[in-house]
A and B are shown apart, each in its own frame.
Chain A
Amino acid sequence: MSTSTPPAAPTAKKNPAVDAVARSAARDRVLLGIAAPVLAIVAAIVISSLVFLASGENPFRAYGIMADYGHYSDSQVWIINKAVPYYLSALAVAVGFRMNLFNIGVDGQYRLAAFAAAAVGGAVALPGALQIILLIVIAMLVGAVWSGIAGLLRTTRGVSEVITTIMLNSIAASVIGYFLQDGRLAVKDGNLLHTTFLPESSHFFSFATHPKPVEGFVVIAVVAGALYWFLINRTRFGFDLRAVGASEPAAEASGVSVKRMVVISMLLSGAAAGLVGMPTLLGESFQYGTDFPAGIGFTGIAIALLGRNHPVGMGFGALLWAFLDRTGSRLEFEGYAQEIVGVIQGVIVLCVVIAYEVVRRYGLRLQQRKVGEELAVLARTGDGTADNSDKPEVTA
């Protein structure tokens, strides 16, 4: 690791003292990078254990149950299938987060999108993969339009997207409620109302695993994650997005149209949200009914925070969340309180957010001290003209 400091190399020949400082800074950076997640994990385990103890239960027995139940193959398949919508939802939220937009409306967006796709899918039957592509495109379009409303209101009228997206959630629920009635777009099936079943060609493929299959939508989730990474880190658009997120006036001054960025990223966020309901619709229920899952949009916010908006981090976050869902229900079966897993999930998110912030601040202080030492060394050796702009940055 200590050899990875090319910026400091030119001065190194002249000044071994500066080289040593730079080398230790690089080491610090790696240590700090590891410190944040480790700190978060340790804190989460300690606090969760305290919660278990406070409720009069043995935490180690609980962890044992969770680990044991989670390692069976049916649990693993369940966890992956459950994590896919979570991950897509986190992606949708993260697109907004990267430029300081808070899209709380993923919930309404994916439900309306899934409902629209289900309504169209029940009415038309295209051959082969065309049907699936059509439904996914419709879902993404509807999701994009629904969140685009919030984007437009923010740029034209200055209404906070936090308010509009929350309200659009309610409106989406009411719109679905209106159309999901017998004689409108739904059929009555016992005491359930749902759209007509999708034709066979709409069924997404799945991987045959034991004992239940893993849904093929996991592939779409991985592809979406890769696209997200590419878009944010490797394109001009992604750079503008991050620039606006870091400082709106600075981005505006350097020629980025902030309004345009707001609308586009809300559209993208909504399009990603449109995918959230698809694994359920195309792989499991094949209709949109009164029992269609709700609330995944809010879980996505927690997972985006947990994964620090990073595509791989959110993947782990989604899997962890699904693991806790799965094993938490088991805990309830074993006699623990049902609410305890909700508490653990909340504790983990808080620990991650706080740990990263603490480490970031510590890193900044450390960096300031290092710079001071470096300057002192340079002053002592009389080489005041050395290039100081190459100081290694501490990023937490």
Chain B
Amino acid sequence: MRRVIRVVAAATATACLALTATACGQSFAEANRATHAGVGLAFDIGGRDDHSFNEAAARGTEDARKHLGVNVKMLTAKNGETEADREQRLTSFAEAGYNPVIGVGFAYSQSVQNVAKDFPDTTFGVVDAVPTGKNVDAMVFAEHEGSYLAGVAAALKSRTHKVGFIGGVNNALIQKFQAGFEQGVRDTDPRAKVVSQYLYPNNDKGFNDPAAAKAKAQGMLDSGIDVIYSAAGQSGAGSIEAISKVKGAWAIGVDSDQYRQPGLARYKDHILTSVVKNVDVAVFDLIKSCEQHKPLTGIHTYDLKHGGVSLATSGGFIKDIQPQIDAARKKIIEGRVKVKETPQP
């Protein structure tokens, strides 16, 4: 008897699988094809309010909402997502008629490339990655050049001649921040020691784990480091908090001007400067181009020369060293200093 029940159960399961596998119905896109709905913004983990990277992209769409009158919809990734989840998110946007559809973060590289093929009439944008496709706008930034300037500022401001770098995840993107920062410090103060550490070797959790960043910063401060540059998305708030507890220590922020972030207002007297990545400008450019029916495609590099990255001056803490920073910027723009993209051993 039990065997019969089992066989029946197995047969039912197989039949269900076979039925669904043949998928005789129509697809969602065929049933619901919509027209112009606005801008679709898909965030990487951390979400809109990370005071940093995603926030910068959101600001670009806010500007577009104000100045171009477009509608904006935002969705956020969960921890531990797969390619299929990201593709579904982008597909949902495209199916609902959102144009352009923008993936914020290099995690969307492959999914943008795949989904863009299915929707040739929609323009896709991706920040920090260079997927290929006729209808894809790849927005990349010269983070290493901005970080070089942060290194110059850190070397000049450190009293102990020990500075630190905290990366969220040890991947190629964050290594650019590390490489530029280390080179900037070395070129400015050969005696200075740079300690670079990462929160996670390869887990994206590193971008939303402020507690880990706080502990890491605490360890650096205890060893006499007095300027710390954190490139870790939302986690950066943790290291800034730890630094704010130590008199005379400085934090260097990332992506957005973190001195001006309301969520970090309590610590702003310790935020020396921020390496600003003008993701908002890039996002706004793309939306504007789509509104004018001349969508941007191909690779667009936002570097120091074109104002894609810059060093924030809010708070006026780097006013006294501004001439040195300007000199370094000039050297990079003129090509006299070549900033490395990968850390030197």
A residues apposed to B, CB below 8 Å: 4, 69, 71-82, 173-174, 176-178, 180-182, 188, 190-193, 207, 209-211, 214, 218, 222, 280, 284-285, 290-291, 293-296, 312, 315-316, 319, 325-326, 329-330, 332-333, 338, 342
Contact = CB atoms under 8 A, between A and B. Distances in A.
B82 A280 contact: yes
B129 interface: yes
B172 A190 contact: yes
Contacts of A312: 6, 9-10, 13
Nearest to A293: B82
Contacts, number: 135
B21 A338 contact: no
A172 to B, nearest CB: 10
A112 B130 CA distance: 27
B78 A192 contact: no
Given A72-B27, A325-B85, A333 B96 contact: yes
B324 interface: no
A349 B218 CA distance: 39
Contact of B203 (A173, A181, A285): A173
Given A280-B82, A329-B88, A330-B92, A190 B28 contact: no
B28 A290 contact: no
Most chain A beta-carbon neighbours within 10 Å: one of B25, B75, B176: B25
Contacts of A294: 80, 203-204
B49 interface: no
A191 B128 contact: yes
B20 A173 contact: no
Interface of B: 1, 6, 9-10, 13-14, 16-17, 20-29, 31, 75-76, 78-85, 88-89, 92, 96, 106-107, 109-110, 128-131, 140, 169-173, 176, 200-204, 342
13 contacts: A4-B1, A80-B21, A81-B84, A177-B201, A177-B202, A192-B106, A192-B171, A209-B22, A214-B23, A222-B17, A284-B83, A329-B85, A333-B92
Q: Which are the 9 A-B pairs with shortest beta-carbon distances? A: A177-B201, A295-B80, A73-B23, A293-B82, A191-B173, A74-B27, A191-B106, A72-B28, A177-B202
Contacts of B14: 222
A173 B29 contact: no
A297 to B, nearest CB: 10
A294 B205 CA distance: 11
